[in-house]
Amino acid sequence: MRAVVLHEFGSAENLRYETVPDPVPGPGEVRVSVRAAGVHQIETAMRAGLEIGPPLPRLPAIFGGEVAGVVESTGPDVDEAWIGAEVVTSHGSPGGYAELAVAAVDSLHRIPAGLGHEAAVTMVVTGSTTIGLLDIARLTSDDVVLVTSAAGGIGRLVVQFARRLGATVIGAAGGPAKTAAVRELGADVAVDYDLADWAGTVRDALGGRGVTVVVDGVEGDKGRAAFGLLAEGGRYVTIGAASREEFRPEEAELKERGVRFTDALALLLEGQDRSADEARALAEAADGKLVPAFQTFPLSQAAAAHAALESRATTGKVVLVPDARG
């Protein structure tokens, strides 16, 4: 099969599109013909050799646990009725950056009718993470919610949910195109946080109202500015540091302002079974309650996908799809 392989930690160009042996499903596993593979922000850091999340893989490595496709063969003791099933999993192996991947049958979700492979692979991790995040954030219709990285995979879903709930939503994103995309989602205020005084723009737009909840996926200087917009007694919920610059408020400042800080990503990574959240996310998308956004790249262009994600040039979830065959 063709796959994208990392032989050496470093830049995106180190991802090579090459031929490797087909994976063989073992007991309790199926082999999936990959139609869509999710690309995660943490994978760009791991590819670079940064130890800021999960342990670095042993090289050579094929990234991508998020896999959607069609079951094309089964391992020992697996019902052959699975063959031909449209499935999605968050535990593809050796990785979804490939034409074929194997997965444990008990990790599979059947893709709901009407949901495409790209949407399904977006929802299985990005969507389930959003579901878990929203359970933690406990948004209400009375909240004024500031969402950073609002044009990203998680951010867009949070904006949709908060708007449906009836909350006031401020979506912050980088650049005019992303800001316009956030506005189209229905955010009450859409602001370009690449501009120097974006926080002042938010204050002016709110006309004296304070932000009650920040849902931040960027951290760094932008996270600090978002935190500064919180009213007394507000909640700051972080879901990752796309900037690769951590922001943690000082305990004294939190106490003084009565602000509650929650590292939602840490809570979600504590190892609990996420299959229920995955199923909920897929159902929400199938019902049209949450509409996933994704940007596709051919599998052979995985390096370009990583580079675009790192430079924050993408909108929605980044998804790899098989190259067109000539």
User: Which pair of tokens denotes residue 92?
Assistant: 């593809």
Q: Tens of pLDDT along 114-146?
A: 999 999 999 999 999 999 999 999 999 999 999
Residue 71 β-bridge partners: 32
Where does the pLDDT of residue 271 fall: very low under 50, low under 70, confident under 90, or very high at 90 and above? low
Rg (CA), the chain: 20
Q: Assess whether pLDDT exceeds 80 at residue 148.
A: yes
Class of domain 2-110+293-321 (CATH, top level):
alpha beta
The verdict on domain 127-270 having CATH code 1.10.10.10 is no
What is the dihedral angle through the alpha carbons of 313, 116, 215, 188, rounded to the nearest 10 degrees? Answer: 80
Q: What percent of the chain has pLDDT over 70?
A: 98
Cα 151 from Cα 262, distance rounded (Å): 22
Q: Is the pLDDT of residue 272 over 70?
A: no
Average pLDDT, the chain: 93
Domain boundaries, the chain: 2-110+293-321, 127-270
Tens of pLDDT along 35-60? Answer: 999 999 889 999 999 987 678 999 99
- Residue 93 pLDDT > 70: yes
pLDDT tens digits along 238-262: 988 887 788 898 899 899 899 999 9
